Structure 1
Amino acid sequence: MISMRRVLAAMAPIALAAVLAFAATGADAASIHRSYSYYSVSGKTAADLDKSLSRGGHLLKSTGQRHPGAAQIRFDAKARYGSNGKACRVTGVYVNVYAKVFLPRWKQRKTASPELALVWDTLSRDIKRHEESHLVIARSHASEIEREVRALPSRPDCSLLRQDIDKVTQRIMKDHETAQKRFDRIETLNFEKRFERLLTYRLEREFGKLN
């Protein structure tokens, strides 16, 4: 069996590119722009795959370690605001999330035994699900930035409103980092039981009811 303790994915550092200025904005809805990058995993046994994942996983500078899956996330926030001579208010805001997801791809998948292939498929899908969940968390917080910035009350001076926007953005980005770390902790604690449940379900579906 693959050593499941080593196949948990980790987030890359999350950077916020907050461009808060008098910029024309499009639709006010947080969206994710994602791309995928794959690295090769090689081996004919579970032990081989375990070693290959450890050697070939994406290297994160934040941990100095290689991880089977990773997601690099960047926020691009833009706000439009202006004054009518009496007060300054927000007139538009959007936050886009840009993500690059790193995932493993097994070279010998097509020629592997059905049992090992099933274990790998279950594992690789869980790795992808984990990374996609990080993107969902990011999008949720991007939408929260949009809502709170849009709801800011007007201020007598635009410099004061700019400070309010920065405070909201910084607070929610801090909450975002905390939420991502909490998700990883929960995933780590529940991984073995979750994977066993997923694997049992797929074994029953593929090879019939287990004794």
Structure 2
Amino acid sequence: MRRLLISGLAAGWMATGVAHGAEITERTTYFMVQGATFAELDRALGMTGPLLSGGERHAGSTKVTFSRDLEFASRKMGCQVSRTNLRLDLVTTLPRWNAPGRADPQTRTKWKILQRDIAEHEAHHSKIAKTWLDRMNRELLALPAEPTCARMELVATRRVHELQLDHANAQVGFDRAEARVVDSRLNGKLAAATGKAIR
């Protein structure tokens, strides 16, 4: 039996669980925003939010780390992946606001809606990662046998890299789709909560 440790990191995009033999850990961190009006809070998000690739600050982020300790076994038909030992670590960063006394009720209501929308967006990034974790587990265990375990390691490593790239593309695709609808969705939620259109 041979083993291969492979790790990968993707960024962008509180509990511990086990799914299909994979360990998942999640934690949430926060950054503070300051302001007394919704416009001030919106500006603060762009100034203090997590800095992602490309040098842009975002209202939230989810750091995704996949790791796996693959095990291989020689059988009659050749060498195969016998265990994947997958692990997924998720670190979500969200905004937090301690409302000053001069913040009016409408601003507080708008903030709750915005904060909830940001949290839901980041939760979907985590959901995408968990979906790909399951897919990685299935596909690695289903790889056809190779003549030697050395060859099996090479094949498994290549497939891991392909799956991680596909996962990263899925995360980017979600962000692109969100960029097209997030403003209208938020404006609709804010207008419904405050009883007037948001300009």
Alpha-carbon shift at residue 111 of structure 1 (Å): 6.3
Alpha-carbon shift at residue 153 of structure 1 (Å): 1.8
- Conservation of the 8 A alpha-carbon contact between 1:88 and 1:157: yes
| Further displaced range: 136-145 or 89-98 | 89-98
Give the distance between the partners of 1:136 and 1:63, measured in 2 at CA.
24
Give the distance between the partners of 1:157 and 1:110, measured in 2 at CA.
69
Alpha-carbon shift at residue 84 of structure 1 (Å): 4.0
Matches within 5 A, 1:24-173: 28-60=20-52, 62-84=53-75, 87-108=78-99, 112-173=103-164
- Conservation of the 8 A alpha-carbon contact between 2:48 and 2:57: yes
Q: Which residue of 1 aligns with 2:12?
A: none
Q: Which residue of 2 aligns with 1:207?
A: none
Give the distance between the partners of 2:102 and 2:33, measured in 1 at CA.
14
Of the candidates 179, 182, 195, which is equivalent to residue 188 of structure 1? Answer: 179
Give the distance between the partners of 2:23 and 2:117, measured in 1 at CA.
23
Gap runs ≥5 in structure 2: 1-6, 10-17
**Percent identical residues:** 31
Give the distance between the partners of 2:181 and 2:46, measured in 1 at CA.
21
Gap runs ≥5 in structure 1: 1-14, 18-25, 205-211
**TM-score normalised to the size of structure 1?**
0.77
- Conservation of the 8 A alpha-carbon contact between 1:29 and 1:143: no
Alpha-carbon shift at residue 199 of structure 1 (Å): 2.5
Give the distance between the partners of 2:101 and 2:134, measured in 1 at CA.
41
**TM-score normalised to the size of structure 2?**
0.82
- Conservation of the 8 A alpha-carbon contact between 2:59 and 2:118: yes
Give the distance between the partners of 1:32 and 1:143, measured in 2 at CA.
11
Give the distance between the partners of 1:109 and 1:95, measured in 2 at CA.
45
- Cα deviation, 1:58-110, whole Å, max 9, x if unaligned, reads 122x1212221111111012221111476212211132211111111111167
Moved beyond 4 Å, runs of 4+? none
Question: Is 2:190 the counterpart of 1:199?
Answer: yes
Give the distance between the partners of 2:114 and 2:102, measured in 1 at CA.
17
Say how many residue pairs are matched: 182
